[in-house]
Amino acid sequence: MAGSGTAHMRSADDHDVLLSVRDLTVEYPTGGGRTFAAVSDVNLDIVRGETVGLVGESGCGKSTVAKAIMQLPRPTSGVVTFDGRDLSAAGKSELRSSRRRLQMIFQDPISSLNPLRRVRRIVSEGLDIIAEGSRSDREAKVDAMLATVGLDPDTVGDRRPHEFSGGQCQRISIARAMVVDPQLVVCDEPVSALDVSVQAQILNLLEDMKEQYQLTLLFIAHDLAVVKNISDRVVVMYLGKICEIADPDALYSTPKHPYTEALLASIPDPDPSVTLTELPLQGELPSPHSPPSGCRFRTRCLRAQSICASVEPTIREVADSHFVACHFPSTPEKGPLS
């Protein structure tokens, strides 16, 4: 499987592309002068007003992509363009001005909040940095945003994060991101640390905020059931590369990549009468320090052939707006191509 290729990228001339990521690579040092690539040659784009879901198992590079988009830290190579501005080449002042319109909600709602500051100060920090309006105007905006996310500003404003539940802390995080009027919000697994009932509340809140404020979202998760309900398009990652891109209905009904099939097969079914079947996988997850040659998924793939070991597949369109990086994608009519 591969992240190489740009067949799935939309032209800025034909679409209102807000975020474009080209050939994104993020490497980390491992000691002894060696490095490993957590993300390799990732290409994706997001049209204004769209919600793109980014899914894959833990360790596949989803959060690394999110942080690289935010330039936290800057990627090793590649270009991140936000609203026509190249963030990867931007200076500190230019990057700071862009971050007002590009915000992030982190996975752990409690540790992402400063434990020493009170809630009203946490939410107002972005407004204070850009010094928009008078202090009283900023305070009023903070209180209004806290109310919008379902928190009483008079009750929570002077309390600290440790006094709240995980769901309440995530509401505070959303208020902090939204108070500066962003265009794009990167949601890095914003519900994975929450109870199921609270997850639904936060997802509904994000959907309401998207409609109310005309937001564009990059929604990262490892739960495909969550992503299906919130996304306009889904991107599947494996071991630092993109393997499949499609709209949710097509991806869930007719997945083309064997890894996507395995992810969907792993979703628990609450019906006790359903017979459990083995996942369409073999072997163990390879080390990201030494990924397999050719297709990175080939060591776990039941369809792998000799070409998979020597030639890395590039992303190509195999159905209408359905893209996959696989030498032998599934076809409902004929089965695997061989």
pLDDT digit string (tens) for 87-126? Answer: 988 888 888 888 889 999 998 888 999 999 999 999 999 9
In three-state secondary structure terms, 280 is coil
Contact 210, 242 (CB under 8 A): no
Residues 198 and 313 occupy one common structural domain = yes
Same domain? For 310 and 256 the reply is yes
Distance, CA of 280 to chain centre: 25
Same domain, 307 and 201: yes
Is residue 11 situated within a structural domain?
no
- 52 and 161 part of one domain: no
Banded model confidence at residue 333, pLDDT cuts 50, 70, 90: very low
CATH of the domain at 85: 3.40.50.300
- pTM for the model stands at 0.91
Residue 112: closest CA among 128, 97, 123, 127? 123
What is the mean predicted confidence (pLDDT) over 18-38? 90
**Are 23 and 121 found together in one domain?**
no
In terms of residue numbers, what domain contains 224?
A: 17-101+181-324
**Residue 221: left (phi > 0), alpha (psi -120 to 50), or beta?**
beta
Q: Are 79 and 48 within one domain?
A: yes
Domain membership flag for residue 329: no
pLDDT digits (tens, 9 = 90+) for 184-217: 999 999 988 788 888 889 999 999 999 999 999 9
pLDDT digits (tens, 9 = 90+) for 268-279: 777 777 777 777
Shared domain check, 317 and 224: yes
154 and 235 share one domain: no
